[in-house]
Amino acid sequence: GGLAIAAFGVAACFWLNAASYLGVIIALMTIRRRPVSIGAPQTALELIAEALRYVRRTPELAGLFALLFVAGTFGANFNLVLPLFTRVVLHANADVLGFLFAAQGAGSLVGAVTMTAIGGRLLQPRRIVLGGLLFAAMELAFLRVPTYGQAVALLLVIGWAFAVYSIGTNTFVQVRAPDRMQGRMVSLYSMLFIGVTPIGNIWAGFVAHLWGPSAAVWMGGALTGIAGLAVLAYFLRARD
């Protein structure tokens, strides 16, 4: 996407994004359905309540979902602030912004490959949280970036850390939940990861308007880091 912005303009990204869904649609059509025993019929509210009770009884899921809520609300709006940060702080244009997004995307790709290659070693709640903490730390470090080259390097790490964290959380949620709960767990993951982001975007825009883009990035990274440390401490206490 970043390279497409620099080479072909913003409109090309929308066309490429639309075309990318074709592969997803084809993949979904090839999935074979597996019968699952769901027990006695339940209403939608009963199903939701059962899922929330299951999360509450499972410390690993409760901690990861709590961190996901904070990261999705405050940390994930980094991309929203990056264009303003590029113009105000780096004094750069759309071409530079495109390469910055490309660097972040490259880091995310490497993160996805990392999870594919050694995901089994990283698929532990505490290690997943460490990925979220690294993402938060890199957000805070990004505020002290004086040059374009250093920004690219940090965005590579930011993309990698966020991919490892988000993919690790999503995978662990599905592995940990029983078959009859997987759909609801993935729905809860999507709601906390994607559904709350617009709320965080409003907050980030308000902070950026009052105190500048650096303040919005700093608050997002700080809140995500604090939540990550709290969840890590929660896991350590639960283990003891």
10 domain-assigned: no
43 domain-assigned: yes
Mean pLDDT estimate for the chain: 85
* Cα gap 140→230, rounded to integer Å: 18
Query: Number of folded domains in the chain?
Result: 1
3-state secondary structure of 143: coil
Per-residue confidence (pLDDT) for residue 1, from 0 to 100:
58
Contact 114, 164 (CB under 8 A): yes
- Residue range 184-204: mean pLDDT, rounded: 87
* Cα gap 78→83, rounded to integer Å: 10
* pTM: predicted TM-score of the whole model, two decimal places: 0.81
11 domain-assigned: no
216 domain-assigned: yes
pLDDT digits (tens, 9 = 90+) for 160-182: 999 999 999 999 998 888 888 88
DSSP structure string for 186-235? HHHHHIIIIITHHHHHHHHHHHHHHH-HHHHHHHHHHHHHHHHHHHHHHH
29 domain-assigned: no
Per-residue confidence (pLDDT) for residue 240, from 0 to 100:
56
* Cα gap 115→167, rounded to integer Å: 7
**Of 114, 46, 76, 21, residue with least CA distance to 223:** 76
59 domain-assigned: yes
91 domain-assigned: yes
* CB proximity list for 37: less than 8 A, separation 6 or greater: 180
**Of 162, 174, 150, residue with least CA distance to 110:** 162
CATH of the domain at 57: 1.20.1250.20
Residue with the bigger pLDDT between 37 and 14: it is 14
What residue numbers bound the domain in which 136 lies?
Answer: 34-239
12 domain-assigned: no
